[in-house]
């Protein structure tokens, strides 16, 4: 099982991770940061870099929790902890957009889609063989995939 470990002291708030996340999940078929529509809410990043109020940054990434409250709350079976790879996986086909998962994640990770029909949450870039795009984009090694 893998998890993205975070060292907030190394983060300098460049948000390369967020751009990489948006790029990795864009639906318009384009590639390259220069054609990415940053204003389009359907391109929103699944991670967020927030200020800590003291000049530093606090990266907020889905923890793919050992005991995921989001999946525990899911009434459709759309969110499930995959015991083989440890990921909390989301199936948009099953999702009923009830948003109990949004309410139940104490870290405020899940977001709702602009059309109010889906949930937007980290999928560990399951479609990319090389693994999470955010981690590869981070110039500071503030986020790293580690085995847990």
Partner 1 sequence: MERFVIIGAGAAGIRAAQTLRKFRPEDLITVISIDDTVHSRCMLHKYLGHERDAQGISFVEADFFEKNDITHIAGEKVTKIDTGLKMVYYGEQYSAPYDKLLIAAGSGFFIPPIPHFREAPNVFGFRDFSDALKIDEAFLKGKRVFIVGSGLVGLDAASALCERGAQITIAEMAPRVMPLQTDDYAASIYQKAFEAHGCKFLLGVGATDAVVDEKGNITEVILATGEHIPCDFIIMAAGVRPRIEIAQNSGIAAERAIQVDDHLRTSAPDVYAAGDCTGLSGVWPDAAAQGEAAAENMAGIDTVYEKPYPFKNTSNFFGVTMLSVGRLDLTEGAEILIHRTPKEYKKAIIKDGKLTGYLSLGDISNSGLYLHLIKNGIDVSGKTDKIFRLSFSDFYGINEKNGEYAYSVS
Residue 97 sits in the site that holds ligand FAD (CB under 6 A)? no
CA atoms within 13 A on the CB side of 89: 13
* Residue 48 interacting entry, from ligand FAD, partner 1, ligand SF4, none, C-beta within 5 to 8 Å by type: partner 1
CB of 81 to ligand FAD, least distance (A): 19
Among 19, 26, 104, 131, binds partner 1 (CB under 8 A): 104
For residue 100, give the nearest of 91, 92, 110, 90 by alpha carbon.
110
Residue 98 sits in the site that holds ligand FAD (CB under 6 A)? yes
Block residue for tokens 């990489």: 20
> Exposed e or buried b for every residue in 121-139, given b needs 16+ CB within 10 A?
bbbbbeeeeeebbbbbbbe
Among 19, 60, 81, 140, binds partner 1 (CB under 8 A): 60
Among 17, 22, 65, 122, binds partner 1 (CB under 8 A): 65
| Contact positions with ligand SF4 (CB under 6 A) in 73-92 | 73-76, 78-79, 88
Dihedral sign for Cα atoms in the order 108, 142, 16, 118: negative
| Separation of alpha carbons 34 and 53, rounded Å | 31
Residues forming the site for ligand FAD (CB under 6 A): 75, 98, 100
């Amino acid at each position: 099982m893998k998890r993205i470990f975070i060292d907030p002291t190394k983060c300098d708030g460049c948000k390369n991770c967020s751009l990489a996340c948006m790029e990795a999940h864009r639906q318009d078929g384009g590639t390259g940061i220069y054609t990415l529509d940053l204003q389009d809410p359907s391109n929103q990043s699944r991670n967020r870099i927030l200020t800590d109020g003291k000049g530093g940054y606090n990266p907020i990434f889905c923890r793919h929790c050992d005991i995921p409250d989001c999946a525990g709350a899911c009434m459709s079976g759309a969110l499930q902890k995959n015991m083989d790879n440890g990921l909390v996986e989301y199936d948009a086909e099953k999702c009923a957009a009830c948003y109990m998962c949004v309410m139940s994640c104490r870290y405020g990770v899940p977001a709702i889609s602009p059309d109010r029909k889906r949930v937007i949450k980290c999928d560990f870039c399951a479609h990319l063989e090389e693994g999470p795009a955010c981690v590869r984009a981070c110039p500071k090694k503030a986020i790293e995939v580690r085995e847990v």
